Structure 1
Amino acid sequence: MGKEKGRVMGIDFGTRHIGVAVSDELRVIAKGIETVNWNGTDPEWALNRICEIIKEMGVNAIVIGRPARTDGTRSETQEKAEEFGKALAGLCGIEPVYKDERYTTVLASRYLHESNIKAKKQKAVIDQVAAEIILQDYLNML
């Protein structure tokens, strides 16, 4: 049985910024495409924007980072990410898969620093890079 085809979206959920990455059609490479800045105040706007991206890019699967605490216990952000995922599924019709995302922002920061990206530019793309890491890890498991 071959690997399924079609784009997968990776989401690095945050209470202020949501990093979005999308795979290629063959589900090999993840690429950060947008940071949805919502400041936790308008989830409906953020959900609608992500659904627009899903339609524009032809996404047929979603993986959302589940930010557990370092000791593995549930965090408040994890619960909010799951609520967001349920709302997204209701709006867009795609049930998300969740993946542990501890340390992805740290890894993204390290990657950007080692790539000599200036601090101001890092802030704008760090959530996208974290979404890329979440998505690429998921793609590598397929």
Structure 2
Amino acid sequence: MRVMGLDVGTKTVGVAISDAFGWTAQGIETIKIDEANEKFGIERVAELMKSHEVSSFVVGYPKNMNNTIGPRAEASERYAELLRETFEKPVFLWDERLTTSAAEKMLISADVSRKKRKQVIDKMAAVMILQGYLDSQSNKR
């Protein structure tokens, strides 16, 4: 079974999936959502969950730099709870501080155009979130 990593924003959710062994994360897609109108893309998450045989979720948890919880982290907590209630699978919050900026720097260094960066940044951030989680789990084996 695989793990799904999610980078939750106000307009998009980046999605990454682990390999079957839980060693590597691959970006899958970016789901369009509308947080203001409570459209969270759960139907698409369900489709991806089934097609990739997902057994658990990792949701990016954007804490403030001083380790406090702000509005975006609270939104991630709500999204994680929605996943738990909808799918009845384990959901882990993973500290994602600076992953989006790290993903952007990586894309800039790879000379990806601004337009293309905008299309893949959330998916890349989801990969970084999930890979961080997977790496932490491999240290426990």
The TM-score with structure 2 as length reference comes to 0.92
Point out where structure 1 has 5 or more consecutive residues left out of the alignment. 1-5
Point out where structure 2 has 5 or more consecutive residues left out of the alignment. none
> Partner residue of 1:136?
131
Taking the TM superposition and a 5 Å limit, the aligned residue runs for 1:80-119 are 80-119=75-114
| 2:116 paired with 1:126 | no
* Matching residue's letter, 2:86: L
Report the RMSD for the aligned CA atoms in angstroms: 1.2
Distance 1:39 1:95, change over 3 A: same
Aligned residues: 137
SS at match of 2:41: helix
In the TM superposition, what whole-angstrom CA distance separates every residue of 1:87-117 from its partner, at most 9, and x where no partner exists?
1111112120111001000000001111111
Distance 1:52 1:42, change over 3 A: farther
The TM-score with structure 1 as length reference comes to 0.91
In the TM superposition, what whole-angstrom CA distance separates every residue of 1:48-86 from its partner, at most 9, and x where no partner exists?
211211111101011111111111111111111111111
How far has the Cα of 1:39 moved from its partner? Answer: 2.9
SS at match of 1:10: strand
